A and B are shown apart, each in its own frame.
Chain A
Amino acid sequence: MKYVDEYRDLELAGKLAKEIERLCTQRWTIMEVCGGQTHTILQFGIEDLLPANVNLVHGPGCPVCVTPVSLIDRAIAIASLPKVIFCSFGDMLRVPGSTVDLLEAKARGADVRIVYSPLDAVKLAKQNPQMDVVFFAVGFETTAPANAMSLHQAKKLNLTNYFVLSSQVLVPPVCASVLSSADNQVQAFIGPGHVCTITGLNEYKNLAQTYKVPIVVAGFEPIDILESILLCITQLESGRHEVINQYKRVVEAQGNLTAQKLLQEVFEVCDREWRGLGWIENSGLKLGSNYKDFDADLHFEKTSLVEISESAECISGQILRGTKKPTDCSAFGTRCTPDKPLGATMVSSEGTCANYFKFKRFELDSTTS
């Protein structure tokens, strides 16, 4: 299959791995930002090909994982209201709130539907004028334009029954937060290819300069990841800190200007809480003043919610910052599994702990699964 098979080639992978080994003279810690990239690394066993002194740590780029429990509870409360059709992307449904997840809410009678595009939710709103249709807008800059487009269309159609519950988050502020934490170990980033397709490279150039850290904006296939590691190591070994676009077949330096304009029209930057990391300034998007009427958070009455405290044992904050790995956690694979997650990184299929559990727990007994 074109654009896939050539990026999963055994021979090329071997060559890149050898070149990485040849160039690497010391231990380097590289973080891939995106959950999709973490998934590729684990799904294809990329670390099996790398020399021991390349230390891959896995970043906060799983939007499902970093959605705070309080917001999931809010989503479940709204979904459980009569006359509400609650729409979400698939992998958000299994993320536990403080008592149930959206799938369980569905089993108990809530009208919860998986959609493949927010525009499908707009269509549902048009077809069901007697119902309130709510879309759970979770994601980074990649999903934001489609979510913005759904609001733009809803406004154009004069819909009064379409609402968005926004949990949009932004990548550069969280990267800055990782780099400025006291115990930071990250020396280079494998940057988020799909996010940069929308935003372009400018903000990453600022990051690279401010923190003197090389950033290679990468694709999501194994060869993309290996090539990006090589480009990171090359820079690290020669003391450079530039932004390199490895994903040229998709990403343009200026990004998608139409999408950027739409985002500005619909959303406003706001502070956001990240599960496992806490509040980060200017790290999210909320509906802008022209779109207040579509804001599910404002439209639906707030009910009193259970206070959530994170597990004392869970180290997901350190995992998201790259200072620890899942296997450093005493609960990993025993007291904490995808069916019984203790924290952010075990909850979604793109979470680092969930990926380690699924693809990499060779050392654990099969009876624990």
Chain B
Amino acid sequence: MQSCGIPIESTDVIRLGHGSGGKLTEQLVEQIFIPRIGNPILNALDDAALLQIGGSKLAFSTDSYVVKPLFFPGGDIGSLSVHGTINDLSMRMAEPLYLSAAFIIEEGFSIAELEKIVDSFAVAAREANVQVVAADTKVVNRGAGDGVYINTTGIGIIKVINPPSANKAKPGDSVIVSGDLGRHGISVLCLREGLDLETELQSDCASLNNLVLSLTPFENSLHCMRDLTRGGLSSALNEIAHASNVGIIINDSQIAINPAVKGACELLGLDPLYVACEGRFVCIVDSTIADRVVEALRINKLGCDAAIIGSVTTEHPGRVVSKTSIGGRRIVDKLSGDQLPRIC
């Protein structure tokens, strides 16, 4: 007889882990949504859908933002909800053009705070050179929301012929990350949980469209691109390894991590490879242009810490393996649910 209780996946209620971007989210998508509303475009599960309309190729993406706290070092829910959708479009090398914005506001929420949020939403949209062309507001009863939730949907135009996709990684390719990991996740976590780590750490929250478009000259050799949001670098690489049926090897010592992020992760027993970013992406490129891609990224402030961190291999297809700082190796697995701080 099995002693340890029911399998996690047989749960009949939604748990927070279903929103973590890991295996539970994957189950929800595969078992609930795809069978009912799936189609070849949605089923590709890329950051943004690719639409051919008349002579134009468009990227289309939507995302909802429920961050808590609403204001955090380096941004707020307003700027985040612009950056996030812009970044999803950018991962298909689309030039973002238009956004929609839907605000779900809780009764009793301060108008002054709402103004601040919409101001920063506007600044982020202006900086990314997108127009907000459709919008909606709803107010829900006190207690039915966490202040403000925002949904944004974006459309961008794809000018490259062969946009990157998660299933295009090839053995021999190089793996490049655009900067250091985990700033967003750790700065939000510290604020939300009241962990005073005496750091001035800021979220990396930023729109990546200009940084990505600077890579247009390399379009034919850019195979995959993923922004590192929920589930961090590990989830992005596992998705690529799985979709392309290749193995990925990364070198721990080549991955940049800010000391404050590293310190907080050590303290809480979290792995920075799984912590969310909101202004970083990973790309898989032909190894012959990898150095030039890194150089191009480093010109931009948002890509100044870009580095080659690994390569694609025929070994262990579907798996991401890390070479550790002391010369050993380990598997970098998908997360099951949310990362939970360890006891000791």
Contact = CB atoms under 8 A, between A and B. Distances in A.
B343 A45 contact: no
B267 to A, nearest CB: 9
Interface in A41-67: 42-49, 63-64
B111 interface: no
Interface in A275-304: none
B324 A43 contact: yes
Nearest to A48: B328
B4 A341 contact: yes
Given A64-B343, A100-B6, A139-B344, A358 B333 contact: yes
Interface stretch (A84-92, A231-239, A242-250, A260-268): A84-92
Interface stretch (A101-109, A158-166, A172-180): A101-109
Contacts of A367: 318
Interface stretch (A4-12, A181-189, A204-212): A4-12
B120 to A, nearest CB: 29
B280 interface: no
A346 B259 CA distance: 32
B340 A114 contact: yes
Contact of B15 (A103, A309, A314): A103
A114 B341 contact: yes
A312 B54 CA distance: 63
A243 to B, nearest CB: 21
Contacts of A258: none
B14 A96 contact: no
A145 interface: no
Contacts of B3: 69, 98, 308-311, 314, 342-343
Given A1-B259, A114-B341, A309-B3, A44 B324 contact: yes
A94 interface: yes
B261 to A, nearest CB: 10
A10 B327 contact: yes
B262 interface: yes
Given A90-B341, A116-B341, A140-B344, A107 B9 contact: no
A296 B67 CA distance: 34
Interface string B314-344: 0011110100111111110110110011111
Interface residues of A, number: 73
A79 interface: no
A104 B337 CA distance: 12
B37 interface: no
B53 interface: no
A108 B13 contact: yes
A135 B177 CA distance: 41
Contacts of B325: 8-10, 44, 222
Given A309-B3, A311-B1, A366 B318 contact: yes
B8 to A, nearest CB: 5
Contact of B327 (A48, A91, A108, A114): A48
Interface string B235-246: 000000110000
A44 B334 CA distance: 17
Contacts of B333: 358-359, 369
B266 interface: yes
B326 A8 contact: yes
B199 interface: no
* Max chain A C-beta neighbours (<10 A), residue from B8, B253, B319: B8
Contact of A89 (B17, B241, B336, B341): B341
Contacts of A349: 269, 340, 342
B16 interface: yes
A13 B327 contact: yes
A66 to B, nearest CB: 12
A48 B13 CA distance: 42
A14 B13 CA distance: 49
Contacts of A99: 5-6
B1 A359 contact: no
A91 B342 contact: yes
Given A48-B327, A49-B327, A308-B3, A35 B340 contact: no
A101 B344 contact: no
Contacts of B9: 339-340
Given A93-B340, A142-B344, A366-B317, 11 more contacts: A35-B344, A44-B330, A90-B340, A99-B6, A107-B16, A114-B340, A311-B3, A314-B3, A349-B340, A350-B343, A360-B331
16 contacts: A10-B326, A45-B324, A45-B330, A89-B341, A103-B16, A103-B17, A108-B13, A139-B343, A139-B344, A142-B344, A223-B326, A312-B1, A341-B4, A350-B342, A360-B331, A366-B242
Interface of A: 1, 4, 8-10, 13-14, 34-36, 42-49, 63-64, 69, 89-94, 96-101, 103-104, 106-108, 114, 116, 138-140, 142-143, 194, 222-223, 226, 308-312, 314, 338-343, 346-347, 349-350, 358-362, 366-367, 369
3 A-B pairs with the lowest CB-CB distances in the bound complex, closest first: A45-B328, A366-B318, A96-B5
